[in-house]
Amino acid sequence: MFCSTVSQDAGGLLCEPTERSKTFKRSVSEYTDHSERFKLKDRTFARQYAHMYAERLCVMRPKLIEAAKKKWGQNVRTKKLFELKAEEKVVVVGTLFKHMELQPSILKEISDEHNLMPQPERAKFIDEADELILEDELQRILLVDKLDKRALVTGVVVAVYGMEPDEDRGKFHIEDYCFAELETQVPVPVKEKDRYVALVSGLDIGSKSENMMNLQLLADLLSGQLGDEGQQEAAANIVRVIVAGNSLSQDTRDKNQMKQAKYLTKKTTASSVEAVKSLDDILVQLAASMEVDLMPGEFDPANHTLPQQPLHRCMFPQATMYPTMHCVTNPYDFSIDGVRILGTSGQNVQDIYRFSCLEDHLQMLENTLIWGHIAPTAPDTLGCYPYYDEDPFILPECPHVYFAGSMPSYQSKVFRDSKGQKVLLINVPRFSQTSTCVLVNLRTLECQPVTFDMSFQEDSFEGEK
């Protein structure tokens, strides 16, 4: 692992200063960007979201039919909903819609006849009375049996095998169901040396409880200024750092300030200005010595709808002087040394948390992989750009590493699909709360957390663990 490469002569720096000290060159890796589909070319919002759902169904239908034939035999019949006959066992492919009573609806809020008080803040919007409905291009039908409606969300494309009974028309009784299979992974080229990619998220600069000390320790470790020569040599193998969203804190989005009229706020500066300056100071230290990818998150000054566009380079005047500084989209898809890495800043997982009964964030991340779609709840409950000719969130290729940022705790797992392909799932925790970053070894495709802790006690100085 990373720390085991600490050299034998630890404490080598505790000597007299010499004229020449050891320097270590940072390894260089091949990088290819695959996030072109997330960059918006035009911004036409005069469209409805029906196009996105139609696109999603159209693209995923052949994959689902293939998976259905594999599971239930080549002779199984696939029908559209309007072709369904009673008591006939068929496979139907469609998009799931979860009808939730508690789902916040702007229509209900502004409707006078309901006389509704504003809903209290809820963590989850699920209810026992939720219903699952399957929609294809023309019709929709209620689904009963088998599918766990509490664990599923709107927008997942599924193939169901079952029939519509004669006495219970309008409902489809499911015997079995399946999702699309993951595409074939491109095999990873074998490497001799260890190379690491650092993932960090949720820096939350600008909050009242910001922890700049631990952040500085992180920057020092990654740029090789922390630790003795062995650790510096190990740090030279970290080729890239990805800041996966929420670099600015939620507190910088002061609601009062945002709602005030412009003429009142003329003399005051937004709290995000100071925070961005601090972020720039940290980023310039990192960018001076390694490749940095900065992804926007939920509370960063970027657009709200997915896919979030890269933060503007004018915000980081010092860091963007270096060519190693890259502002990238959220979600972010790239490959480094042949390892395909895909990740988001966590909004997709957060939204699934709100609208399903699942508690384990890693399980939700795994589910998005099984469903074949990064953010199935977009555009229903997660803001999304109204695409009309593509759905960029469908997984094009099976990634080797799949991460989500701003998670409450560090979790990781190796997911194996039906073809035996392995995907490393990583939940990158919020650095402001856990002071933990994640190092991914590109050679072995394993990851480990690195936690920073400082406590000024009389006896010991605890550096990195």
Closer CB to another protein, 359 or 389, in the complex: 389
- ∠ CA 212-216-219, rounded to 5°: 140
Instruction: Tell me how far, at minimum, the Cβ of 48 lies from another protein, in Å.
Output: 6
Residue 115 CA to residue 403 CA, distance in Å, equals: 43
Closer CB to another protein, 48 or 184, in the complex: 48
Q: Which stretch binds another protein (CB under 8 A): 44-52, 100-108, 402-410, 432-440?
A: 44-52
Amino acid in position 67: A
Q: Which stretch binds another protein (CB under 8 A): 42-50, 96-104, 301-309, 314-322?
A: 42-50
Question: Is 107 an interacting residue with respect to another protein (CB under 8 A)?
Answer: no
Closer CB to another protein, 80 or 124, in the complex: 80
| Choice from 14, 15, 46, 123 touching another protein (CB under 8 A) | 46
Question: Is 264 an interacting residue with respect to another protein (CB under 8 A)?
Answer: no
| Nearest one of 119, 92, 95, 102 to 175, comparing CA atoms | 92
Question: Is 210 an interacting residue with respect to another protein (CB under 8 A)?
Answer: no
| Nearest one of 50, 74, 226 to 155, comparing CA atoms | 50
Of residues 414 through 433, those in contact with another protein by CB under 8 A are none
| Choice from 3, 6, 40, 54 touching another protein (CB under 8 A) | 54
- Here the tokens at position 234 are 């190990």
Question: Is 55 an interacting residue with respect to another protein (CB under 8 A)?
Answer: yes
Residue 465 CA to residue 446 CA, distance in Å, equals: 18
CB 454 within 8 A of CB 442: no
| Choice from 10, 13, 28, 50 touching another protein (CB under 8 A) | 50
| Choice from 135, 137, 194, 397 touching another protein (CB under 8 A) | 137
Question: Is 58 an interacting residue with respect to another protein (CB under 8 A)?
Answer: yes
Question: Is 16 an interacting residue with respect to another protein (CB under 8 A)?
Answer: no
Q: Which stretch binds another protein (CB under 8 A): 52-60, 95-103, 115-123, 311-319?
A: 52-60
| Choice from 22, 47, 70, 312 touching another protein (CB under 8 A) | 47
Q: Are strands 140-144 and 171-178 parallel, antiparallel or unpaired?
A: parallel
| Choice from 26, 34, 51, 313 touching another protein (CB under 8 A) | 51
Question: Is 304 an interacting residue with respect to another protein (CB under 8 A)?
Answer: no
Question: Is 194 an interacting residue with respect to another protein (CB under 8 A)?
Answer: no
Of residues 370 through 389, those in contact with another protein by CB under 8 A are 388-389
Closer CB to another protein, 125 or 388, in the complex: 388
Instruction: Tell me how far, at minimum, the Cβ of 249 lies from another protein, in Å.
Output: 36
Closer CB to another protein, 44 or 418, in the complex: 44
CB 378 within 8 A of CB 155: yes
Question: Is 33 an interacting residue with respect to another protein (CB under 8 A)?
Answer: no
Closer CB to another protein, 54 or 370, in the complex: 54
Residues that bind another protein (rule: CB under 8 A) add up to a total of: 13
Instruction: Tell me how far, at minimum, the Cβ of 50 lies from another protein, in Å.
Output: 4
Q: Are strands 401-407 and 339-344 parallel, antiparallel or unpaired?
A: parallel
- Here the tokens at position 256 are 């009062």
C-alpha distance from residue 224 to each of 6, 219, 235, 412, 432 (Å): 13, 8, 6, 26, 22
Closer CB to another protein, 137 or 220, in the complex: 137
Question: Is 106 an interacting residue with respect to another protein (CB under 8 A)?
Answer: no
CB 8 within 8 A of CB 314: no
Closer CB to another protein, 51 or 413, in the complex: 51
- Own/partner pairs, 58-61, CB within 8 angstroms, 24+ separation: 59/391, 59/394, 60/93, 60/157, 60/180, 60/372, 60/373, 60/394, 61/93, 61/157
CB 127 within 8 A of CB 100: yes
Question: Omega of the bond prior to 331 within 30 degrees of 0, cis?
Answer: yes
Binding residues (CB under 8 A) for another protein: these are: 46-48, 50-51, 54-55, 58-59, 137-138, 388-389
